[in-house]
Amino acid sequence: MKYVLVTGGVVSGLGKGVTASSIGVLLKACGLRVTCIKIDPYLNTDAGTMSPFEHGEVFVLDDGGEVDLDLGNYERFMDIKLTRDNNITTGKIYQASVGSVIDKERKGDYLGKTVQVVPHITDEIQDWIERVAMIPVDGKEGPVDVCVIELGGTIGDIESMPFIEALGQFSYRVGPGNFCLIHVSLVPVLNVVGEQKTKPTQHSVRGLRGQGLTPNILACRSTVALDDNVKGKLSQFCHVPEQNIITLYDVPNIWHIPLLLRDQKAHEAIFKVLNLQGTTKEPLLKEWTSRAEICDGLHEPVRIAMVGKYTGLSDAYLSILKALLHASVDLRKKLVIDWIPACDLEDATEKENPDAYKAAWKLLKGADGILVPGGFGNRGVQGKILAAKYAREHRIPYLGICLGMQVAVIEFARSVLNLRDANSTEFDPNTKNPCVIFMPEGSKTHMGGTMRLGSRRTYFQIKDCKSAKLFICGFNYVEIIISKASYVPQVYNITSAFIEQRCCRLAKPFALCVIRYGNRTFIDERHRHRYEVNPDMIARLENAGLSFTGKDETSQRMEIVELPNHPYFIGVQFHPEYKSRPGKPSPLFLGLIAAACGQLDTLIQGSGSQGNLSAKLGNGIAMEKVYQKGTTKPAKVLSDGLYSYCNGVQV
């Protein structure tokens, strides 16, 4: 096993996560299997209880892990599926998990010794890394080749010191040729003199070496490429070979980063340190080059109004922004986000700040589509309800996610059923018409890890509803017909790699999205919520025209809601953004962008089945059909990226 450690210095927010992800892409392109680990030195057990204003969005994994948003970058860049153990925190090391240091101490595993940071905490960190690094995350069997480890924060942070000590010991544990350290640092350019300054990086590397780690490669963030004399100076003072100094300068979109690394021979520098020279192939990044070029060349805009609570920080909705971009680039549109603070749409703002009120409504009315994301707390809820009402009444394409679905149901109950006090018990515990209620299995005393989390199954109730058509017709996928007589639970773990190995060679990329079991069609999506639509209200809502087209396995929990007579009005309890990938956009985001551009009918009708493939998978499971996109839809575009929000680089 080889290990690549990515650290950061000078300031936070340099893009360590994107750098680590891009390194993973580059190594995969060279034919290696790669996994990732993110170390967050904070004391929290996980990211689930932290405000988005503190650390950005909480990314949710299939196993229900609430993790740092960088794991979302890893999954999207490398098209892998990680677990909660791929995110290490101080809280997990000390106490959060069975087998943690405190747990072992209580059981007497340390044989009466004084339990200390060194060696007990540092040993636990090293053991955790070695254990998780062996777990495959790409759907294939066997251990991976390289584990990319990102250490959160910056060198010098007090809380990261045990991890730095552990990683220093770890480099000796795995031995020379198995450990490569890449240090991401800042080389600022002072506008007054226009000179690239190396002193911050020099001090950062000195601090890193003072704690027992010596960088093999420097990845220098700057507005422009480093001058040769600057590289020479960094090489001299940081003791790093000049050819191992990489410039990560500002680019139009993040899909250029793997290309920057390749063009500067970063993979060759890594392979030299890891003794992998001659065992790998040249990186094949044709798709990434296409992504970057196409993303740069988009001109025709599509405007999406994002009505949320945390609009002051784009990272709070990072996965949603990525999913929107995947879909918009797929349809060759340039995404323009109109950020609308939900509270600015409310009547109270009209009195307190009329300018903000007018500006918010102007943006909402000028949007091609409206998206209301998830959130917690009652601030801005009335504004989200008003946004849903405007979309419903004016037939504007609407996608509501989690809370966005719930407010759509509340608005419908108030406006159509004339239940003026209809509400969620989250916002009004005493409402007489609770449209949204607390889930019975939830905890009201413990907040962390007690929501309905992770991958859950949604069954389509109506085959010809828009959401089912989008998942079934608007996406490359393999449909597996499973007879009830031959049903085996483990077939649901079938991966694309398994299908290719056991059945046939399929045109790539394709995604296993929809499976049929008997005569029911279902999808698996990731969830994160405490409240649900009140099942006692369903009959009244459906009789009034609302259609619950997706439900869980009990048919008591509502997963998808639609307005059949609306061009595009869909709310989902799950979070489809977490599984969107470049080149494989989430069907619901694809539908929103298509509807906003007036192309929804073309998308659905133009994506029919082509070809008919039959093969036996074993255990009596037959794969009936392989659907591919029709030629009437624009060609699949493999692209992703975000337009700059800070420092001229997308992070």
Token duo for residue 106: 């209580």
DSSP-assigned beta bridge partners for residue 246: 219
Catalytic residue among 238, 295, 575, 597: 575
Length of the chain: 651
How big is the CA angle at 524 (ends 506 and 142), to the nearest 5 degrees?
55
Has 402 been annotated as catalytic?
A: yes
Catalytic residue among 75, 426, 559, 577: 577
DSSP-assigned beta bridge partners for residue 360: none
Side-chain half-sphere of 4: how many Cα atoms within 13 Å?
34
Catalytic residue among 36, 402, 473, 597: 402
CA distance 307 to 347: 16
Has 120 been annotated as catalytic?
A: no
CA distance 451 to 529: 5
Answer whether the bond into residue 440 is a cis peptide, omega within 30°. no
The 3-state DSSP class for residue 488 equals coil
Who's near 226: CB < 8 A, 6+ residues apart?
187, 196, 220, 234, 245, 247, 249
The 3-state DSSP class for residue 598 equals coil
Looking only at the bridges linking them, the beta strands covering 547-551 and 558-562 are antiparallel
Ranges of beta strands (E only) in 114-258 are 146-151, 179-186, 189-190, 195-196, 217-222, 245-249
Q: Kindly tell me the number of DSSP H helices and DSSP E strands found in the chain.
A: 22, 27
Which among 369, 316, 364, 315 has a CA at the least distance from the CA of 340?
Answer: 364
Please report the DSSP string for 513-555 in residue order. --EEETTEEEEEEEEEESEEE-GGGHHHHHHTT-EEEEE-TTS
| Amino acid of residue 375 | G
Q: Which residues are known catalytic residues?
A: 402, 575, 577
